[in-house]
Amino acid sequence: MMLFYLRILAIVLAVAIAIPAMAAPDPAQPDNGAVSYHGVSFPKLIGGGQRLSAQDKEATGSGVGFEATYRHGSAVTTVQIYKWTPATIPDDVRGPVVRREFNSLKHSILSTRSAGQDVRPGREFTVADDRDVPRLVCAPYVMAQGHMSVPNDQVMFRRDYIVCLGAVNGEFIKTRSRIDHLNYSVAEARRFLDSLTRHVWK
């Protein structure tokens, strides 16, 4: 009988220890308040978008820079801050450094498409801050599994993407928005990018 009670006590203690550990937030993905990285803050809410995660990839050894993900409507936007060189990245979306990196991003999108996937690039645009200074240069894409010349109801899979690049505090800032083509418009995603830009460069 004593052995039975000792086993019960051991189970209760194990549960009591486990519950606080389960409830504690992961420091790599904070649950409350703004998260800052190199002078840029990422609050829980931006322009109607809710932060899903935030991670200092260098601190966790999982990559380069910082990454935060927001859900807004049926779209998800990932924001990355990074740089591959010790040199300071000029904050000029029309300059050669940002333009070269942006062209590399566009090339990677077209070169990594899977077999049978149709990718259509759209017209580039810029996103400005409250002072009307262009901060992000963006390229929209439509991707479909199957050829997009057929009617929409015959396309097996279709999704819109927007990829943007700029520079802030001497580093690249990249956004990648994945948009549900049926339930969320590209215009709504662009409004989120407007809010994000005004927040970062306020």
126-174 pLDDT, tens digit per residue, is 999 999 999 999 999 888 765 555 555 454 567 789 999 999 999 999 9
pLDDT at 130: 96
Q: What percent of the chain has pLDDT over 70?
A: 73
Structural domain that includes position 44: 27-200
Q: Over the stretch 126-137, which tens digit does the pLDDT of each residue have?
A: 999 999 999 999
Q: How much is the pLDDT for 186? A: 80
Q: Work out the average pLDDT over 71-86.
A: 91
Q: What's the confidence (pLDDT) of residue 19?
A: 34
Number of domains, the chain: 1
How far is the CA of 160 from the CAs of 1, 10, 86, in angstroms?
65, 53, 34
Cβ(169)–Cβ(200) under 8 Å?
A: no
Domain containing residue 160: CATH number: 3.40.1000
Residue 157 within any structural domain of the chain: yes
Concatenating the DSSP letter of every residue in 116-164 gives: TEEEEE---EEEE-TT--EEEEEEEEEEEEB-TTS-GGG-SEEEEEEEE
Q: Nearest 10 degrees: CA dihedral of 12, 17, 22, 28?
A: -170
Query: Is position 159 within any domain?
Result: yes
Asked if residue 91 is part of any domain, the answer here is yes
Q: What global pTM score does this model have? A: 0.76
Flag whether 14 is in a domain: no
Q: Is residue 7 part of a domain?
A: no
Residue 1 domain-assigned (yes or no):
no
